[in-house]
Chain A
Amino acid sequence: ELKVEQNPLFLSMQEGKNYTIYCNYSTTSDRLYWYRQDPGKSLESLFVLLSNGAVKQEGRLMASLDTKARLSTLHITAAVHDLSATYFCAVDMVGGATNKLIFGTGTLLAVQP
Chain B
Amino acid sequence: DADVTQTPRNRITKTGKRIMLECSQTKGHDRMYWYRQDPGLGLRLIYYSFDVKDINKGEISDGYSVSRQAQAKFSLSLESAIPNQTALYFCATSDLPGNTLEQFFGPGTRLTVL
Residues of chain A at interface, number, CB under 8 A: 24
Residues A92 and B41 in contact, CB atoms below 8 Å apart: no
Residues of chain B at interface, number, CB under 8 A: 21
Partner of B44, one of A33, A103, A106: A103
Residues B108 and A42 in contact, CB atoms below 8 Å apart: yes
Partner of A104, one of B42, B58, B102: B42
Chain B residues contacting A35 (CB-CB under 8 Å) are: 105
Bound-complex Cα distance A106 to B45 (A):
15
Partner of B41, one of A44, A48, A100, A105: A105
Interface of B is mostly: strand
Chain B residues contacting A106 (CB-CB under 8 Å) are: 42
- For A88, give the chain B residue with the smallest CB separation: B42
Chain A residues contacting B104 (CB-CB under 8 Å) are: 45
Bound-complex Cα distance A35 to B45 (A):
16
Count, A-B residue pairs, CB within 8 A: 51
Chain B residues contacting A31 (CB-CB under 8 Å) are: 101
Interface of A is mostly: strand
Residues A42 and B105 in contact, CB atoms below 8 Å apart: yes
A11 close to B (CB within 8 Å):
no
Nearest CB on A from B22, distance (A): 16
Residues A100 and B105 in contact, CB atoms below 8 Å apart: no
Chain A residues contacting B31 (CB-CB under 8 Å) are: 99
A50 close to B (CB within 8 Å):
yes
Partner of B101, one of A42, A92, A104: A92
B94 close to A (CB within 8 Å):
yes
A69 close to B (CB within 8 Å):
no
Bound-complex Cα distance A105 to B40 (A):
6
In the complex, which residues 54-113 of chain A have their Cβ closer than 8 Å to any Cβ of chain B?
88, 90, 92, 96-97, 99-106
